[in-house]
Amino acid sequence: MNRFLTLVVLLTSLLCDVKAQTTKPSTKKKVKLPPHTGYFDLNLQMGVPMQEYSTATQSLPFGFNFGYMHQPSRYVPLLIGGDFSYMSVGTNTIDRALTADITANGVLIDQLFIPLQFQINNNLITSHLKLRFLAPTKYVKPYIDGIGGFNYLWTGTQVFDRSQQQFFARNNNNDNGLITRNTQLQSFTYSAGAGTGLLFQLKPNFYLNVGVCYAFGGRANYYDNSQIQNWDIQLNTSGYNPNQTNGAFKDSDLYVDAIPKRSKTDMLLIQLGFSWNVVDGKYK
C-alpha cells in the first residue's frame, strides 16, 4: 500500500513539473492609453424659440450639429472644445415661366417657353466654444455644458433656369441651371448659455448622445417663414444678352419689399446623435 501511494505521489510531481516546463508565460501586453482623450459628436438638432423669439416666430429651426470635445487629462473630467450647427428656418419654392416671342416684321414666328424656379431659404448658423463636465462613469455618462458663441441668420434667394437649353444660366455647363443668387437680409448676434445631456454606451468608444441646451441670443433682424411664403418676387431684366458671360440677370435684379422682424433669439437647442471617443478608439 505504501509503495502504491509513493508511486502516485511521484507521478503527480512529474506531471506538475512537465506542465510547468511546457507552459509559456503570457506575452499579451496591456494597452497603454495616452494621458488625454477626446470625443467627436454628430447630431440632429432642433431649435425651439423661447421668450420674445417664440412670440415673433412660429418656425422651428432644424438641421445638424457637429463638434469636438478634448479632455486634456483622462483623470480630470473637464473637456474643452467647440461645435458648429446649421439649421433651416423655412423654405419656399416658386415656379414661374417666361416667354420670348420671335417675330419678323411684326409677325409672330415662334415663341420660347423658359421655366424658372425661385428658391427662397431662411438659414441659421450657430457656433460655440464649450466647456464640459463629463462624469467618469462607464455605461451612462451624464454631462453639463457651458457655451458661448454666435448666431448668424440670413435669407437668400436663388433663381434657376429649368429649361433644357438653360438660356439664362451663368454657366451652361452647370447642370443646376443657376441664374443668380442674392442675400436679402443677414444678421449676426451673440449666443451663450448652458445645457446638459447623457451619453449612453452602445459599444466600446461609441455612444448615443441626447442633449439639451438653453442658449440666450441677442437681438437680430430676420424674415419669418410665414413672411417668405407670401413673397412675390419680381425679376426685372431688359432681356437676354448673349455677350454677357455672367448670365442674363444680375444679382441686383432681385429685390424684396418686406419689413423684417426684430427680436431676441433665445432658443432651446435639442440634440440627438452619436459620440465617438476618437482617441481611445485607435487603441482597440
**Which residues, 6 or more positions from 84, have their beta carbon under 8 angstroms from its beta carbon?**
65, 66, 67, 125, 126, 127
The separation between CA 194 and the C-alpha centre of its own chain, rounded to angstroms, equals: 19
d(CA 215, CA 219): 13
Q: Is the distance from CB of 251 to CB of 180 less than 8 angstroms?
A: yes
Give the per-residue pLDDT at 167.
Answer: 72
User: How far is Cα of residue 139 from the mean position of the Cα atoms in its chain?
Assistant: 26
Taking only the tens place, the pLDDT of each residue in 99-125 is 778 888 888 888 778 888 999 999 999
User: Residue 242: its pLDDT value, please?
Assistant: 47
pLDDT at site 18: 45
The secondary structure of residue 242, as a DSSP letter, is T
Helices and strands in the chain, H and E counts: 3, 12
H or E element, residue 28: none
Q: Name 59's bridge partners.
A: none
d(CA 146, CA 148): 7
> Residue type for 179, please?
I
Q: Give exposure, 205-237, as e/b (b: 16+ Cβ within 10 Å).
A: bebebebebbbbbeebebbbbebbeebebebee
Query: Can you give the pLDDT at residue 240?
Result: 47
Residue corresponding to grid cell 417668405? 228
pLDDT above 50 (res 34): yes
Q: What ranges in the chain are assigned the alpha helix state H? A: 2-22, 52-56, 225-228
174 vs 195, higher pLDDT: 195
Q: Sort 191 into a burial class: Cβ within 10 Å, 0-12 / 13-18 / 19+.
A: buried
Distance, in Å, from the CA atom of 59 to the CA atom of 121, rounded to the nearest integer, reads: 13
Would you list the DSSP string of 129-156? EEEEEE---SSEEEEEEEEEEEEEEEEE
Q: Are 118 and 158 in contact (CB under 8 A)?
A: yes
Place of cell 440670413: 154
- Residue-averaged pLDDT of the chain: 83
* Percentage of residues in the chain having pLDDT higher than 90: 52
Query: Shortest CA distance to 47 belongs to which of 131, 145, 119, 122?
Result: 122
Angstrom distance (rounded) from CA 80 to CA 140: 20
pLDDT digits (tens, 9 = 90+) for 234-253: 655 554 454 554 445 555 55
pLDDT in tens, 151-173: 999 999 998 888 887 777 776 65
Q: How far apart are CA 235 and CA 168, in angstroms?
A: 13
Give the long-range contacts of residues 20-23, CB within 8 A, separation 24 or more. none
